[in-house]
Amino acid sequence: MGHPLDFIVFGVPRSGTKALVHALNLHPHVYCAEERFHFRADHSRIIFPDTFLDASYGSDEEARKKIKHISNELARKGEITHAGNKLPRYYFALHRINRELPALKNIWIYRSPYGSSSPGTVASSIDRKANGGQDKWGCSACLSCSVASRLASA
């Protein structure tokens, strides 16, 4: 039996939302899709796992790849008790989405956009990527594990 989204992950671009999702997905009972649903979608109609695997939510090649990826990830997990979606720009529709799903948990990640040479800034991250380098600033494992534990115990 399916259930609605439990949480969304968002933040400013290059803030580490993808790294946080990878850490959350390490928990055996938590699953977070990466940009499966647009912020314009009616989130009250998103049911896990059915809608996550539904091709009518995007029928282009990229959507088909996401569905296959999600299907493969879910096959490796046990029972998922908490499901979410990551979209860095959820803040554009946060008020509406929270009205659609009043029990939805919002996980916002922030990384300073200021500065150009400090290794932990968004500007330095963009600069490294633009120059062909890897952005290996990582994420805070302690924060990620803490968030996953709180979701799983809620």
Average pLDDT for the chain: 82
Q: Which bin fits 138, alpha (ψ -120 to 50), beta or left (φ > 0)?
A: left
CA angle 45, 46, 52 (to 5 degrees): 145
- pLDDT band (50, 70, 90) for residue 12: confident
Q: Is the pLDDT of residue 97 over 80?
A: yes
Among the residues of 6-140, which ranges form H helices?
A: 17-24, 61-75, 94-100, 122-130
Q: 82 lies in a domain?
A: yes
Which token pair is 46?
């998103």
pTM reported for the whole predicted model: 0.75
pLDDT digits (tens, 9 = 90+) for 13-26: 778 889 899 999 99
pLDDT-based confidence at residue 109 (cuts at 50, 70, 90): confident
Count of domains for the chain: 1
Domain membership of residue 154 (yes or no) is: no
Within a domain: 153:
no
67 assigned to some structural domain: yes
pLDDT tens column, 20-67: 999 999 999 999 999 999 999 999 999 999 999 998 877 788 889 999
Whole-angstrom Cα distance, residue 112 to residue 103?
29
Does the structure show a pLDDT above 70 at 141?
no
With residue 153 as reference, give the H or E element that holds it. Answer: helix 141-153
Q: Which domain holds residue 65?
A: 3-148
